[in-house]
Structure 1
């Protein structure tokens, strides 16, 4: 009888161990946890069973030298600021150099914003600081690119000009420190290429999904799908008031920054 009891206990222990082995996540293969739901069911046995032919992606014609692709909305064509207004709704007052195809912040004239409103976008924009160095810190060639009129990507001449790192060039102002400082020499043209996904809000006005942003500065990844925590104020915490589509805004920092911009286009996502 004792042998039978001990045998049963042994089988019970083995059974429990096997059950624990099956139910413990750490012991399962990594593959079991990364397979998506659409890949469940009977394993395909023919290559054509995993080939898709719809939906067919749209054809977009790329362009050379960072020019706008065929499906882009051009926000500055080198000649005028017809796509922009001041924050008061009047024609944008910044200075346009038609001969060389750029425009420059007009000191103390106020920010400018696009007439068109946007949600999620791919953005290309080029900017440069003046060759003449006039100030230091946050007062040297300071401007900003505001997505949806409220989330700032910092524009600043940081060459031999240190400042707080969550306010340096390529940062999401006061929120995210860039992975690298990738500026070209002072007075040369920088490029920002942005992939931005707008935040989402429910009917009650509560944020249910944060916005995200990826930034390449002169082709270097400096912000990698980071979460936008809210607005980017100079003083205070980020705020998350509900909003829909909104303009792209460029900043007049009010300190004779003389930052110039050119070749601005977006693709709506």
Structure 2
């Protein structure tokens, strides 16, 4: 069902179907995280994702994305963004090195329903402390945004929570504005946009049946980005490093459910005073 502002509202059964896609995404991200180490090519991580999709009878949300709009179709099943790459890095022959930070963004379709999530991993144990802080600050902001969904009335309540997390993290980070969270369901990107900055009590109203991808992207410097000639890869305009975390969250009549976490988000949300609802 499509509600206000063209926002898709799901039934309980449809959210349960999205959970299946979310679990495939969670499994693939765990597998790719375990494969991240020095000497591995970014294309090798894409191969891991393809195997998880095949093993689960799932389809990539990303492969050939964009063709419907006449732009260069995305050529891989996962986005691998290393260091200064903000989003949409195309897997290839780039070899990971100790100290790199690697953002992995992945989506899967099961029975027509999408799941979408991202994680940022550290290669080896010698990453610059500022880069390690950036990864943790971004992860925390994502979870603060997810927790805000439990009580949010409008999209701006989530955006404000993410910005507040960044503003109070103890160091200055750039909040990327060109790329935002979004609605998700029978398509990967739907209304409403969920910016990572803004003010509470603004934006579209939230209601049970809505599903949102919450995804802050922070940098160690400028929040500005530049798109490379491949029409996909976006890098920071000053060469500073970026981190990206994302989860798909469902709003139900009884609470929220993080569809792309194996435990439904229970552990992280409990630490923030939020009790989740699991539908199955």
- TM superposition score category, shorter chain reference: under 0.3
When Rg is computed on C-alpha atoms for both structures, the one with the higher figure is 1
TM-score (norm 2): 0.25
If the length of structure 1 is used for normalisation, what is the TM-score?
Answer: 0.25
